[in-house]
């Protein structure tokens, strides 16, 4: 028998299970979202790195094949930084030994942002598709954009990494809060703070978030199996969001290098790093993180750090190496298995009350 918070969440999401497949930009598209939604969870489409045309194509794929199932479309809503030539130059100089080792001409690397925040232009693209759920990372978009999203009848989610952020999101109109504990892979959703010491472990965060907000709380971070789901519900969470456990599924677009790292012993050691994008995100520790970070205050502001890293990543990957790749993973990568996504959903669902 589901708890009241779980029933409220199921009503909001329109799913059979209180489980969300976490949006993972760069490692999945509509195929994983379709597979997880078909299995009864809420599939998510990460949109931060899609052009408007790519976004339309992916949404059309979900509409064509989804049979009316609910989906979540996920956007970043950071304030884009102004470019900073001095900082960019200093960072390129810091990376110079790596450029030299790969024979990369650093003067030919274009600057620029790897990720666009949610905007009216992107809202124009998704509006005709009327997604059931729209989720955000790094807070919420402007009140005007929020009004627009709500006008479609969409349910709005966002991530909180502290008790204060959970309160803020509820006060600013989130219909449910994703409590993203420190164990989570990928970008920390932190937006009221930039001090990493404010970040709470999943257990401590979920337990406290459920006591300060009235909307349903979705636990995220370090959860990858039935036992993790049961623990999250015991803490008072209405449901669970899981990412890393899906990264090795055939429906994900995770690179071969990333899959190998997830399946090997290196996946035991992840760290928060700002090297790849400018914001802290959790990934498997590799050479780039060991030698330049994992946290380096000289890295350009989010998302500008992507530009300087990209050619190093490409050159290393061309040699079969993940030394300069973002190998995003949470602290329970051992939960990821090389099985269809529906099997992961089924394993997670075994932790729900009968």
Write out the residues near a second copy by the rule CB under 8 A. 162-164, 181-183, 197-198, 200-205, 207-208, 211, 221-225, 227-228, 230-232, 234-236, 268-272, 285, 294, 330-332, 334, 351
Smallest separation (angstroms) from a second copy to the CB of 285 = 7
Smallest separation (angstroms) from a second copy to the CB of 224 = 8
Nearer to a second copy, 120 or 269 (CB): 269
Nearer to a second copy, 25 or 267 (CB): 267
The three-state secondary structure class of 225 is coil
| 342, two tokens | 């529906």
The helix-helix angle for 226-234 and 202-212 (nearest 10°) equals: 40
Smallest separation (angstroms) from a second copy to the CB of 295 = 9
Nearer to a second copy, 68 or 265 (CB): 265
What does the DSSP assignment read for 130-174?
Answer: --SEEEEESS---HHHHHHHHHTT-EEEEEESSHHHHHHHHHTT-
Nearer to a second copy, 66 or 280 (CB): 280
Render the burial of 161-190: b for 16+ CB within 10 Å, e for the rest: bbbebbbbbbeeebbbbbbbbbbbbbbbbb
Smallest separation (angstroms) from a second copy to the CB of 301 = 22
- DSSP secondary-structure letter at 42? B
Smallest separation (angstroms) from a second copy to the CB of 196 = 9
Reading phi first (left if > 0) and then psi (alpha if -120 to 50, else beta), residue 103 is in left
Any idea which residue has 């802290």 for tokens?
280
Nearer to a second copy, 26 or 181 (CB): 181
- For Cα atoms 44, 133, 51, give the angle at the middle one, nearest 5 degrees: 55
Those residues whose C-beta lies under 8 Å from the C-beta of residue 234, and which sit 6 or more positions away, are none
Nearer to a second copy, 149 or 275 (CB): 275
Smallest separation (angstroms) from a second copy to the CB of 200 = 5
Smallest separation (angstroms) from a second copy to the CB of 229 = 9
Nearer to a second copy, 94 or 271 (CB): 271
Question: Could you tell me the strand order of the sheet in which 176-180 lies?
Answer: 19-21, 239-242, 217-220, 176-180, 155-160, 133-137, 71-76, 43-46
The three-state secondary structure class of 214 is coil
């Amino acid at each position: 028998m589901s708890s009241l918070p779980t029933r409220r969440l199921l009503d909001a999401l329109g799913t059979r299970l209180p489980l969300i497949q976490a949006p993972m930009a760069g490692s999945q598209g509509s195929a994983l979202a379709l597979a997880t939604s078909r299995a009864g969870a809420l599939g998510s489409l990460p949109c931060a790195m899609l052009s408007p045309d790519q976004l339309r194509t992916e949404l059309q794929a979900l509409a064509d094949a989804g049979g009316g199932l609910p989906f979540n479309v996920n956007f970043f809503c950071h304030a884009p930084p102004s470019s900073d030539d001095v900082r960019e130059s200093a960072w390129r100089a810091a990376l110079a030994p790596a450029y030299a080792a790969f024979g990369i001409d650093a003067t030919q690397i274009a600057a620029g942002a790897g990720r666009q925040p949610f905007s009216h232009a992107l809202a124009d693209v998704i509006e005709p598709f009327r997604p059931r759920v729209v989720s955000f990372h790094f807070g919420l978009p402007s009140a005007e954009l929020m009004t627009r999203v709500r006008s479609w009848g969409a349910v709005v989610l966002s991530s909180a990494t502290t008790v204060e952020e959970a309160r803020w999101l509820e006060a600013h109109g989130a219909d449910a809060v994703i409590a993203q504990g420190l164990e989570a892979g990928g970008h920390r959703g932190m937006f009221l703070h930039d001090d990493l010491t404010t970040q709470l472990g999943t257990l401590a965060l979920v337990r406290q978030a459920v006591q300060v907000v009235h909307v349903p709380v979705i636990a995220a971070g370090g959860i990858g199996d039935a036992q993790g789901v049961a623990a999250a519900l015991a803490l008072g969470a209405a449901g669970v969001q899981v990412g890393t456990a899906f990264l090795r599924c055939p429906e994900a677009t995770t690179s071969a290098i990333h899959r190998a790292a997830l399946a090997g012993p290196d996946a035991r050691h992840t760290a928060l790093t700002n090297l790849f994008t400018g914001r802290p995100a959790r990934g498997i520790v590799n050479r780039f993180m060991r030698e330049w970070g994992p946290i380096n205050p000289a890295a350009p502001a989010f998302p500008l750090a992507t530009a300087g890293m990209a050619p190093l990543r490409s050159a290393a990957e061309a040699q079969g190496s993940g030394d300069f790749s973002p190998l995003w993973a949470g602290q329970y990568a051992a939960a990821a298995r090389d099985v269809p996504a529906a099997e992961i959903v089924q394993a997670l669902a075994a932790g729900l009350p009968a």
